[in-house]
A and B are shown apart, each in its own frame.
Chain A
Amino acid sequence: MPFFEQSAAEHLRNLETGEVSSVDLTRSYLDRIAALDARVGAFLRVDSEGALRQAAEVDAKRAQRRPVGPLGGLPVAVKDILCERGQPTTCASRILENFRPPYDATVISRLRAADAVLIGRTNLDEFAMGGSTESSAFQVTRNPWDLERTPGGSSGGSAAAVAAGFAPLAIGTDTGGSIRQPAGLCGVVGMKPTYGRVSRYGVVAYASSLDQVGPFGQSVEDVAMLLEAIAGHDPRDATSLNEPVPAYTKEVGLPLANLRVGWVREHFGQGLDADVEAAVRAALGVYESLGATLHEISLPHAKYAVATYYVIAPSEASSNLARYDGVHFGHRTNEKEMLAELAADRKQLETACDRQGLDRLDSALVRMYRRSRSEGFGPEVKRRIMLGTYALSAGYYDAYYLKALKVRRLIRQDFDRAFGQVDLIAGPITPAPAIKIGELAGDPLAMYLLDIYTVSANLAGLPGLCLPCGRSAAGLPIGLQLLAPPLAEARLLRGARMYEQATTWNTTHPEL
């Protein structure tokens, strides 16, 4: 088996027995990236020098029989939205093109402490806003299974990197499905932990009540390993949960007895692709054959999830992204040009004796903000900022924002009731396999509607996992989503592993 098809767990065993060194393993991945990433575009930057240095340090630790961390020498790709001290952290946005954070995100610190090798930074939708990685200001990422198609998003670079065999493990973030959805569309395993399970400190904020960091891997075991390394309480994140982290790597292999799997009536309605429906129903059959019982459940408010999400997430985004003002960090417009433009505007209004226009004319500071932000943000980010500002503005707050927060509670209560009857919920991750690049350009609402199966978990704060469960007639990966109650990550991983062990979907890889 070629090295890039081996799981992280297998690599780790080989590293521990000395069969391979971290430097050799890292170099193999770097060579593969150098040879093939021009076709995929998963990485925004690859840090060959830094990665080989970290790998050499881990090899030295092993040689000297010093303690080695749980990811000892394994390359990990990181979505370019987690702050890394002194390294560019762009969020795939022009506005942060030259930003270099003065500190590490807690997840980066934990990866370092676990002796991971940080191999490079992956592409994403600008500020994680999107489901296809097409809104990146810098490059398009292609789906390794079909280079004409998107890898999904927003963590499309991380998902594509694992699918293409450019890294055994990767980190993403999930605000409305941004780990699970690209995992499904690229045929890898991705997990969004319970809100608060992993620290958000140093993760560039999109929608703070929904954002969560999580792992990608080729197998459920790999995802368990990476989650265990990054999870846990962080006093620097006030929303981080002060709960012990179970030994996921030890638990993942234990099958669940008397497992009750729920399937949601509302998930199998109109708009679900026939191949996807068939694959998901077959997956439910696999659970039954493993001794689980299947239960039909209802989530009556599921159909309002997209509407609720597209009020709450943009509202939080409009507030969070107010920090990009061209003052503290990030892009700032050319000041001379800005002042000249303002003077010209004033002159024109004075000549026209337009008193109202003069009263409304921007101050220099406001014009500076407006020009800096308009130059720095791309269209999707502007759209969401505008949508959120509108939903929060006087006269609309009650009808949109407050209303959405109430429906959010109803969505959560649906899940609480459902988890009284079942242990896990299984269903589709997207209505259809990966879309073609450019297929939905110019139709943002159609793009948002594809989030129907993923956003509920973020609104309710639940952990969710996606793993491969089939191929479409065209050979594209199809994902199975599993959801569990808050903090039941171990159950989620064990349930996923049961399915994975009984099937072979993660043993085939795309040819590049």
Chain B
Amino acid sequence: MSLSRVEVEKVALLSRLRLSDAELDTITADLAKIVGYVDQLAEVSTEGVEPMAHAIEITNVFRDDSSSESLPREEALANAPHHDTRGYLVPAVLGE
């Protein structure tokens, strides 16, 4: 399986990363090698095998539907790089 640079650029966008030309070169080569190695999974017969998403297969963990104290707004916002007293601030999304 070979990965093209165009494909890797697309993955970078999906990953919300921006890579320099040099980074793209390295990572294209690295991913090709790693994916080439991972391709050996194809040789394992998995017919009728249920996928195992979790080590401990517990489902539906319930708790009482009761409210309790939560993080005060001020503390929740304290780590945001850009915020006012009410919420997170981001660059304009509309009107471009």
Contact = CB atoms under 8 A, between A and B. Distances in A.
Contacts of A422: none
Contact of A318 (B15, B55, B78, B96): B15
B42 interface: yes
B91 A365 contact: yes
A239 B58 contact: yes
Contact of B93 (A99, A365, A370): A365
Interface stretch (A29-37, A139-147, A287-295, A325-333): A325-333
13 contacts: A195-B55, A195-B56, A235-B63, A328-B88, A329-B80, A330-B79, A335-B91, A385-B15, A400-B41, A403-B41, A405-B52, A406-B44, A410-B44
A238 B88 CA distance: 28
Nearest to B14: A389
Interface of B: 3, 8, 11-19, 23, 26-27, 30-31, 33-35, 37-38, 40-42, 44, 46, 49-56, 58, 61, 63, 71, 75-76, 78-82, 88, 90-93, 96
Interface of A: 98-100, 102-103, 194-196, 209-210, 235, 238-239, 241, 301, 304, 306-308, 310-311, 318, 322, 325-332, 335, 338-339, 363-371, 373-374, 377, 379, 382-383, 385-387, 389-390, 393, 399-400, 402-410, 412, 444-445, 448, 458-461, 486
Given A307-B37, A327-B88, A390-B31, A407 B44 contact: yes
Contact of B34 (A304, A373, A377, A387): A387
A327 B38 contact: no
Give the secondary structure class of B's interface: loop
Interface centre among B35, B58, B81 (most CB of A within 10 A): B81
Contact of A386 (B15, B38, B46): B15
B52 A389 contact: no
Given A311-B38, A402-B51, A364 B92 contact: yes
Contacts of B63: 235
A409 B52 contact: yes
Contacts of A386: 8, 11-12, 15, 17, 27, 31
Contact of A310 (B23, B38, B92): B38
Contacts of A445: 30, 33-34, 37
B16 A325 contact: yes
B18 A374 contact: yes
Contacts of A389: 11, 14-15
Interface centre among A306, A371, A403, A459 (most CB of B within 10 A): A403
Contacts of B58: 239
A402 B12 CA distance: 22
